[in-house]
Amino acid sequence: MELLGSMPINAFEWTIILACGMLIGMSKVGVPGVSMIVVPALAFIFGAKQSTGVLLPILMMADIFGVAYYRRHANWAHLIKVLPWAVVGLLIALWVGNSVNDKQFKNLISVLVFLSIALMLWQDKRKGTHFFPDKWWFAASMGILGGFATMIGNVAGPVFAIYLLAMHLPKNSFIGTGAWFFMIINFTKFPLQLFVWNNISLPTLAVDLMTLPAIALGAFLGFKMVRIIPERTYRGFVIVITAISALLLLM
């Protein structure tokens, strides 16, 4: 609790943080899009660059839930194609993020959020249309873009979703492959943010641990929701709220 006391967080902000943990838990077990709200929400509380250090361990804990449930459904052939390129994207973003101030970092997150929203809308519009080639350059471009987006703002979900949709994967394989991808990438990011960006500390880790029950609750709700709630019911809402939040980040 002494560690938590070193970070001035009020009750309203704690409510937002715990809600973010729950949404992350939901997103990792197959409820797409809901975690997009988390990025701008935490940026408002902690600042743009610091918020990525708070969010990353939450994502890592949630990744474990997703992999534990869908671990047998991953398509490793597609993972092996994209992972090396994603690491290249991470390294590019690591340099960019270390070279800009907090305002510029916030603007980068906003641009990536809007790009991700556009990709989600495009993905919805072209659903069922298999027009992406299964070529090395496609895996390379999606990997680099995804690695950059996840390092800068943890908003690579729509990018990787498009890559997986192009591979025509069934539902469980889609979720399982994504779960493994983000667990590997997020655990790779941890030492980079800890030692290069220096935005992970004992106080931020204490905050992250407080979200674990919310993550578990979100994962449980996500398992249920993915079966019973039509995607379009909440997807439009998520996109609108995320776009408003990203706009506020630019102000």
Mean pLDDT by 10 residues, the chain (251 residues): 65 94 90 77 88 94 92 90 95 86 74 74 63 72 88 81 76 86 96 92 93 95 77 63 64 58
CA distance 206 to 3: 7
Q: What is the pLDDT of residue 188?
A: 96
Please tell me the pTM assigned to this model. 0.83
For the segment 68-110, what is each residue's pLDDT rounded down to a tens digit? 988 888 999 999 999 999 999 999 998 888 887 767 777 777 7
Q: What is the pLDDT of residue 1?
A: 46
DSSP label of 168: T
User: For the chain, what is the largest distance between any 2 Cα atoms, rounded to a whole number of angstroms?
Assistant: 54
Nearest-CA neighbor of 16 among 78, 58, 79? Answer: 58
